[in-house]
Chains A and B, each alone.
Chain A
């Protein structure tokens, strides 16, 4: 259901509009295995491309690095601007800022144009997840900005993980100094079983979700978020499993980045 806030600067539809009631029942997730036939610990296939938005000729308005990332149906695009002049002229460390936006058509429900608090929260999550990997002391007085647009999403936690992976690849493309690439992965719990990389339908049916972002080669977790009810043992077990997934995702990103150098 879209809340149509009247906005003078945009073309507005009717004051109130709702989604129709869809008669066809959606298939029950986990009724017999996963909807797309994956194994429970299987991550959706990943496609990465760095530099789709980069300038062909030197131009001040083009980003210094960019990436396009797909994971199953999820499509995320990211552009990195900077290092460019920061707001604070005497800062000893550079600053890293993220901006996260869902395209209005990217979710199964319609989103408002105006940035929601949800998007602001995710932007902050991305900053926290990626920030520790950047050598900010190498960029005094500078700011590095990442702009992420979700073109299509399928599962909220998985979309955030995809955004983290996309920014990682874009930062590498921009030539920003990093300690390590950050790789992220998500899991949801269904019954007493953890399931990797859930789609929207699977996430809706689950009771608990976990997001882990990690720098695998230094073995450090940069961000961890768990929603819902579990036991400490279950969570510990899931963090371990999710970390392993991160390592697999990391391998895909690194293999791609290496191939671009050859």
Chain B
């Protein structure tokens, strides 16, 4: 009995490897997904804040198997003359060849560039850059938030945004003072304070798989056969911050409304772990 069970499992793995699309379709036709989730069910989120001592703020986030680490390094610089009280926050998403065989070493892939750009735009929405001011017109903090993907299994934007929020919440900047004579900034590590995010962001991604099924939080194998994806971002008061639909697949406005509703429910799931 056990032997035949093993044979079935082996045949299933072979089938999945050879016909990945057909394999997924068999599940979707039965109103379920290959990992046992329902269509509108998200994967669990785990957040660990502040594990990295070399960064001023850090967080590790897991969404299902997808794992990302966000670390923030703080340095000082002169502000832009047009915005003398605003600091800098540069966010980059790094999809290394370690996390999945689909990425190559060297320059960032298109997917990584798009993710960086989008996360950066969202970061501008939630973070108040004037909180990085040390001395108006003279010195501000410049933050480099790097989101490194350790394992890629779909939903990278969701994980990246949650990691950025968590890392910014964990961020502690030392008390800094500008010496007006020398123009140098001295900082006291023992007097570090939290900066705090203006508002938290809660992302949720949906995918249109095989042009027919709308699923929440698609994993890598589902993303490969997705024809459209929809990112919905809410802030902590439940207001819509960002809706982004990509891909050629058609989503009706009712479907989008349903996804936005489901994304609001996802908010509480993420908020509990933060």
- Using a CB–CB distance below 8 Å, which chain A residues touch chain B? 2, 9-14, 16-24, 52-53, 56-63, 73, 75, 77-79, 81, 99, 101, 103-108, 110, 113, 115, 145, 147-149, 151-154
Interface of chain B residues 18 through 35 with chain A (CB within 8 A): 34-35
Residue of B nearest to A26 (CB): B189
Whether A58 and B17, one on each chain, are in contact in the complex, defined by CB atoms closer than 8 angstroms, is: yes
Q: In the assembled complex, how far is the CB of residue B264 from the closest CB belonging to chain A, in whole angstroms? A: 29
- Using a CB–CB distance below 8 Å, which chain B residues touch chain A? 13, 16-17, 34-35, 52-55, 58, 65, 67, 69, 71-73, 75-78, 80, 88, 90-92, 94, 96-102, 105-108, 113, 116-117, 120, 142-144, 146, 148, 150-152, 174, 176, 184-190, 220-221
Q: In the assembled complex, how far is the CB of residue B115 from the closest CB belonging to chain A, in whole angstroms? A: 11
A105 to B221, CA, bound (A): 31
Whether A14 and B150, one on each chain, are in contact in the complex, defined by CB atoms closer than 8 angstroms, is: no
A212 to B117, CA, bound (A): 43
A79 to B67, CA, bound (A): 14
**28 interchain pairs (CB within 8 A)?**
A10-B108, A11-B117, A13-B77, A13-B90, A13-B142, A14-B78, A14-B80, A16-B77, A19-B75, A23-B187, A24-B189, A56-B35, A57-B13, A57-B35, A60-B17, A61-B100, A61-B102, A103-B69, A103-B94, A103-B148, A105-B52, A105-B58, A106-B52, A145-B97, A151-B52, A151-B148, A151-B150, A154-B54
A202 to B98, CA, bound (A): 31
Residues of chain B within 8 A (CB-CB) of A148 are 98
Nearest 4 A/B pairs, CB to CB: A105-B71, A17-B77, A147-B98, A20-B187
A78 to B98, CA, bound (A): 7
Residues of chain A within 8 A (CB-CB) of B53 are 73, 152
Q: In the assembled complex, how far is the CB of residue A103 from the closest CB belonging to chain B, in whole angstroms? A: 5
Residues of chain B within 8 A (CB-CB) of A108 are 54
Whether B58 and A149, one on each chain, are in contact in the complex, defined by CB atoms closer than 8 angstroms, is: no
Whether A18 and B101, one on each chain, are in contact in the complex, defined by CB atoms closer than 8 angstroms, is: no
Whether B98 and A53, one on each chain, are in contact in the complex, defined by CB atoms closer than 8 angstroms, is: yes
A18 to B107, CA, bound (A): 25
A61 to B101, CA, bound (A): 4
Q: In the assembled complex, how far is the CB of residue A193 from the closest CB belonging to chain B, in whole angstroms? A: 26
Whether B55 and A105, one on each chain, are in contact in the complex, defined by CB atoms closer than 8 angstroms, is: yes
Residues of chain A within 8 A (CB-CB) of B151 are 52-53
Whether B100 and A14, one on each chain, are in contact in the complex, defined by CB atoms closer than 8 angstroms, is: no
A17-B77, A61-B220, A149-B148 are known contacts. Are A12 and B96 too (CB-CB below 8 A)? no
Whether B186 and A23, one on each chain, are in contact in the complex, defined by CB atoms closer than 8 angstroms, is: yes
Residues of chain B within 8 A (CB-CB) of A23 are 186-189
Q: In the assembled complex, how far is the CB of residue B162 from the closest CB belonging to chain A, in whole angstroms? A: 17
Residues of chain B within 8 A (CB-CB) of A81 are 97, 101
Whether A22 and B142, one on each chain, are in contact in the complex, defined by CB atoms closer than 8 angstroms, is: no
Residues of chain A within 8 A (CB-CB) of B184 are 21
Whether A79 and B69, one on each chain, are in contact in the complex, defined by CB atoms closer than 8 angstroms, is: no
Residues of chain B within 8 A (CB-CB) of A16 are 77-78
A10-B108, A24-B190 are known contacts. Are A149 and B98 too (CB-CB below 8 A)? yes
Residues of chain A within 8 A (CB-CB) of B17 are 58, 60
A223 to B105, CA, bound (A): 25
- Cβ 8 A contact of B146, one of A60, A105, A153: A105
Residues of chain A within 8 A (CB-CB) of B101 are 60-63, 81
Q: In the assembled complex, how far is the CB of residue B203 from the closest CB belonging to chain A, in whole angstroms? A: 18
Residues of chain A within 8 A (CB-CB) of B78 are 14, 16
Residue of A nearest to B105 (CB): A99
Residues of chain A within 8 A (CB-CB) of B72 are 105
Residues of chain B within 8 A (CB-CB) of A147 are 96-98, 105
A75 to B151, CA, bound (A): 15
Whether B65 and A99, one on each chain, are in contact in the complex, defined by CB atoms closer than 8 angstroms, is: no
Residue of A nearest to B79 (CB): A14
A13 to B65, CA, bound (A): 31
Residues of chain A within 8 A (CB-CB) of B77 are 13-14, 16-18
Interface core residue of B53, B73, B107, B176 (most chain A CB under 10 Å) = B73
- Cβ 8 A contact of B75, one of A17, A53, A58, A75: A17
Interface core residue of A9, A53, A101, A103 (most chain B CB under 10 Å) = A103
Residues of chain A within 8 A (CB-CB) of B187 are 20-23
Residues of chain A within 8 A (CB-CB) of B100 are 61-62
A180 to B142, CA, bound (A): 47
A57-B16, A110-B73 are known contacts. Are A11 and B120 too (CB-CB below 8 A)? yes
Q: In the assembled complex, how far is the CB of residue A148 from the closest CB belonging to chain B, in whole angstroms? A: 7
Q: In the assembled complex, how far is the CB of residue A93 from the closest CB belonging to chain B, in whole angstroms? A: 22
Interface core residue of B65, B76, B78, B101 (most chain A CB under 10 Å) = B101
Whether A58 and B52, one on each chain, are in contact in the complex, defined by CB atoms closer than 8 angstroms, is: no
A56 to B151, CA, bound (A): 12
A58 to B15, CA, bound (A): 10
Whether A59 and B88, one on each chain, are in contact in the complex, defined by CB atoms closer than 8 angstroms, is: no
Whether A77 and B54, one on each chain, are in contact in the complex, defined by CB atoms closer than 8 angstroms, is: no
Q: In the assembled complex, how far is the CB of residue A59 from the closest CB belonging to chain B, in whole angstroms? A: 6
